[in-house]
Amino acid sequence: EVQLLESGGGLVQPGGSLRLSCAASGFTFSSYAVSWVRQSPGKGLEWVASVNGGSDNTHYTDSVKGRFTISRDNSKNTLYLQMNSLRADDTAVYFCAKSPQYTTLTPLDYWGQGTLVTVSS
Amino acid sequence: QSVLTQPPSVSGAPGQRVTISCTGSSSNIGAGYSVHWYQQLPGTAPKLLIYGNTNRPSGVPDRFSGSKSGTSASLAITGLQAEDEADYYCQSYDSSGVVFGGGTKLTVL
């Protein structure tokens, strides 16, 4: 059974940093692209970043470029999102999701339950 | 403001058919990129409902179907059931990456 378990969310002050993790199980992690998608309270889905199976291809939404870094450790079956220079509008539930293919820009067929990040003073 | 435009809400009675539109542009759907649809039940994570414009993942009832034409796509749900009450999102791509619609809340009357 495919499982994705996010962790690392919490309350952080504006300008601060946070690192999210997503532990994957039930599939060959290194064979599939994975992504972060966020959802602000009461709002819709917003794609954040994606990385392919080998970590040599990454994509980011414009609003997080230069502040967020997506990475993965295939030996630990774990996806990460390093978030720096956090702003109030980064407040959201962050979901990790896997693709059914090695490459990015493919559908998201399994999702974790999400971790809440709150940016506030 | 989402790149893909969806109606904020739709509704229908049990057993009826509803459709949810997803309007894009020549930069995304009209450029030939695939459209996918997700269902998000209250308080849960999204679930892939339709991929590659028209395909259903294993386990998704055939009451759900997708279509695409030009710069738009649609999700149709037939034989509406109370359990279908949820938010629905379309998703495609553009030169910047992944784009989502703003979501449509389906109410089963």
3-state SS string over chain B? CCCEECCCEEEECCCCCEEEEEECCCCCHHHCCCCEEEEECCCCCCEEEEECCCECCCCCCCCEEEEEECCEEEEEECCCCHHHCEEEEEEEEECCEEEEECCEEEEEC
CB contact under 8 A, A61 and B96: yes
Q: Is the pLDDT of residue B74 over 90?
A: yes
What pLDDT shows up at residue B53? 97
Residue B5 pLDDT: 97
The answer on pLDDT for A47 being more than 90 is yes
pLDDT band at A94 (very low <50, low <70, confident <90, very high): very high
**Number of residues written out for chain B:** 109
Minimum Cα–Cα distance from A41: chain B residue = B43
Beta bridge partners of A81: A20, A70
Chain B residues whose beta carbon lies within 8 Å of the beta carbon of residue A50: 97-98
Residue B4 has pLDDT above 90, yes or no: yes
How large is the average pLDDT for residues B82-100? 96
Q: Is the pLDDT of residue A105 over 90?
A: no
Is B2 close to A44, i.e. CB distance below 8 A?
Answer: yes
For chain A, what is the mean pLDDT? 97
Q: Is the pLDDT of residue A116 over 90?
A: yes
Is the torsion defined by CA of A62, A66, A69, A70 positive or negative?
A: positive
Q: In this predicted structure, what is the pLDDT of residue B1? A: 82
Tokens coding B93: 């791509």
Residues of B in contact with A57 (CB under 8 A): none
Percent of all residues in chain B with a pLDDT value above 90, rounded to a whole number: 96
Bridge partners (DSSP) listed for residue A5 = A23
Flag whether pLDDT at B98 surpasses 90. Answer: yes
Residue A7 pLDDT level (bands cut at 50, 70, 90): very high
Per-residue pLDDT at A108 exceeds 90: yes
Given an 8 Å threshold on Cβ–Cβ distance, is A113 in contact with B45? yes
Contacts of B3 in chain A (CB under 8 A): none
Check residue B78 and give its pLDDT. 97
- Across the interface, whether the CB atoms of B100 and A44 are under 8 A apart is answered yes
Residue B2 confidence (pLDDT) above 90:
no
> Kind of pairing, strands B104-108 and B9-12?
parallel
Mean pLDDT (whole number) for B39-47 = 96
Q: Inspect the interface and report whether the beta carbons of A108 and B36 lie closer than 8 Å.
A: yes
**pLDDT score of A86:** 98
Taking contacts as CB-CB distances below 8 angstroms, the residues of chain A near B38 are 45, 108
Q: Reduced to 3 states, what is the DSSP secondary structure of residue A63?
A: helix
* A interface residues, B as partner, C-beta within 8 Å: 35, 37, 44-47, 50, 59-62, 95, 97, 100, 105, 107-114
**Which of A113, A63, A110 lies closest to A91 in space, CA to CA?**
A63
Stretch A42-56: mean pLDDT: 96
pLDDT on residue B86: 97
